[in-house]
Amino acid sequence: MPSRHDPALLRKAAAALASRAGDYGDLFVESVTTAEIRRDEGGGRQVLLGGGSGAASRVLGADGTRHRAAGGRDAGDLIGVPAAALAEALTDRGADPGAADPVTGGAPPVDAADTAAALARYLDALEAAVGAGPLAGGGAAGATAGGTLQMRAEARAQQVIIATSEGEIAHDRRAWASFTLRVSRPGRAGAMLSAAAGGGARDVARLVAIHPPAEVAARLAEALDEAGAAAPAPTGAMSVILGPGVGGILIHEACGHALEGDRALRGRSAFANLLGEKVGPETLTIVDDPTLDGLAGSRRIDDEGWPAAPIVLVDAGRIAGLLLDRATALRAGTAPTGSARRESYRDLPLPRMTNTFVRAGTRTPEEIVAAVPRGLYIAELGAGRVDTATADFSFRVRRGFIVAGGRKVAPVGPCLIAGNGVTVLAGIRMIGVDLRFDPGTGECGKEGQRARAAVGQPTLLVDGLVALPEGT
């Protein structure tokens, strides 16, 4: 485990990887434990507890990248590293239930069985609260019973050691617990109404404290009531207000990915040639910051052992930086930004976002809504499509309101919102004071690798977006 490995052996093994002048090599050692509970629509509950470990060696050289990965106690032999260098760092079971790492001070190891029991108690409480509230038709929409509930909760703990051919050794412990649930119930007209909720935190105790079941149930009831009263969504180009928090997914997808070094340096990004250029108002600053406490993308080091640090992507409206891992930094002739992430030892690192957010501005949310004579207020975004090469995107609006005369006047039914990442930044007219992060369920996919990530945003007023009927 990270606290019991032999640094001298690891250093020597990592140094041996870079056998030719100019090569860079590193070792990535990982152990993971997870506890997951799924509740299906019929009420069946499935619990999965797991753990494992593995290691990978990587060499970056003039002729390309070499990566060898293997699971288990003898991974060293399989990846060309003396077994003794990794033996203490790898187990079959995953996280060591022993003491917390005295070096990193990171999250303590997680006992999967205890975690599963705690998650199960939390899901019991959620199920009771939702069953008594939104599922029982407790909302003002007057729905009848006959709804369904699906839930999923997961707690995951990961420990990593990274050793580089440059003599660096770094450790980290990361943990995250989260839940999602979706309810459906018939509305007054017989149509099924549905709503979703979720949240995340560093561990189950914080999860319970931050997302009390009664509050979750109340949010769902409110969302179901809105769905029951929804008016047809407006269509066409209009002013759009992105509500605080989850609206940040749009910035993440349409702008953040385009500022990841692998895409940008290959010219596969709409922002590739805009470094230093003005793309938005001077009040606009976008940051990726893995050092923020208690968010889904938080970490002390990246997956190449580089210290995590905030990276300003857009500074006072100008493109200011890219997210770089070791490979893309080499191409760019600069230093990495600590942005390397890998889903597991099986995967190569990629430059990726962690906690990406728009810094708070100066306008109150009320001022922003009052400034819109006709438009759409988006409270919750769903799945979307983004082409990072062009920055064109479309997202499903899960919750929204018609804005008329400077007021939110009615909830709207599902629709799509489409636009372009470059023009969205240019179209930002007002930035609110109310920076908020998503509830903690965010997960980002890139080249087949999943990674936890947070998005944050204050209320934004944006021109240049188009609302489209769902199914377009």
Binding site for another protein (CB under 8 A): 32, 37, 40, 42-54, 63-75, 78, 92-94, 112-113, 116-117, 119-120, 265-266, 268, 331, 346, 348, 387-390, 447, 470-472
What is the C-alpha to C-alpha distance for residues 205 and 114, in angstroms, rounded to an integer?
Answer: 12
Query: At closest approach, how far in Å is the CB of 78 from another protein?
Result: 5
Query: At closest approach, how far in Å is the CB of 393 from another protein?
Result: 12
In the chain, the N- to C-terminal Cα span, in Å, equals 51
Q: Between the CA of residue 363 and those of 360, 434, 460, what are the distances in Å?
A: 9, 9, 9
Q: Which is nearer to another protein, 116 or 431 (CB)?
A: 116
Element holding 163 (H helix, E strand): strand 148-164
Q: Which is nearer to another protein, 80 or 294 (CB)?
A: 80
Q: Answer whether 229's CB lies under 8 Å from 202's CB.
A: no
User: What number of residues does the chain have?
Assistant: 472
Query: At closest approach, how far in Å is the CB of 438 from another protein?
Result: 26
Q: Which is nearer to another protein, 14 or 119 (CB)?
A: 119
Q: Answer whether 303's CB lies under 8 Å from 340's CB.
A: yes
Q: Which is nearer to another protein, 164 or 457 (CB)?
A: 164
Q: Answer whether 52's CB lies under 8 Å from 31's CB.
A: yes
Q: Which is nearer to another protein, 95 or 369 (CB)?
A: 95
Q: Which is nearer to another protein, 50 or 167 (CB)?
A: 50
Tally the C-alpha atoms within 13 A of residue 371's C-alpha that lie toward its C-beta: 18
Query: At closest approach, how far in Å is the CB of 58 from another protein?
Result: 9
Q: Answer whether 421's CB lies under 8 Å from 254's CB.
A: yes
Query: At closest approach, how far in Å is the CB of 470 from another protein?
Result: 7
Q: Would you call 460 helix, strand, or coil by DSSP?
A: strand
Query: At closest approach, how far in Å is the CB of 429 from another protein?
Result: 27
Q: Which is nearer to another protein, 323 or 403 (CB)?
A: 323
Query: At closest approach, how far in Å is the CB of 116 from another protein?
Result: 4
Nearest to residue 427, comparing CAs of 461, 391, 463, 458?
Answer: 463
Q: Which is nearer to another protein, 55 or 221 (CB)?
A: 55
In angstroms and rounded to an integer, the radius of gyration of the C-alpha atoms of the chain is 24
Query: At closest approach, how far in Å is the CB of 126 from another protein?
Result: 15
Q: Between the CA of residue 454 and those of 242, 297, 355, 437, what are the distances in Å?
A: 16, 6, 4, 7
Assign 3-state DSSP to the chain and report helix, strand, coil percentages, each to 5: 20, 40, 40
What is the C-alpha to C-alpha distance for residues 136 and 138, in angstroms, rounded to an integer?
Answer: 5
Question: Facing residues of 150 across strands?
Answer: 182
Q: Which is nearer to another protein, 70 or 308 (CB)?
A: 70
Tokens read off for 63? 């002729």
Query: At closest approach, how far in Å is the CB of 241 from another protein?
Result: 26
| Amino acid (one-letter) located at 440 | G
Q: Which is nearer to another protein, 49 or 410 (CB)?
A: 49
Query: At closest approach, how far in Å is the CB of 183 from another protein?
Result: 19
Query: At closest approach, how far in Å is the CB of 447 from another protein?
Result: 8
Q: Is the dihedral of CA 198, 176, 95, 304 positive or negative?
A: positive
Query: At closest approach, how far in Å is the CB of 316 from another protein?
Result: 30
DSSP 326-391: HHHHHHHTS---S-EE-SSTTS--EE--SEEEEPP-SB-HHHHHHT-SEEEEEEEEEEEEEETTTT
What is the C-alpha to C-alpha distance for residues 350 and 447, in angstroms, rounded to an integer?
Answer: 9
Q: Which is nearer to another protein, 383 or 405 (CB)?
A: 383
Q: Which is nearer to another protein, 226 or 347 (CB)?
A: 347
Element holding 123 (H helix, E strand): helix 112-132
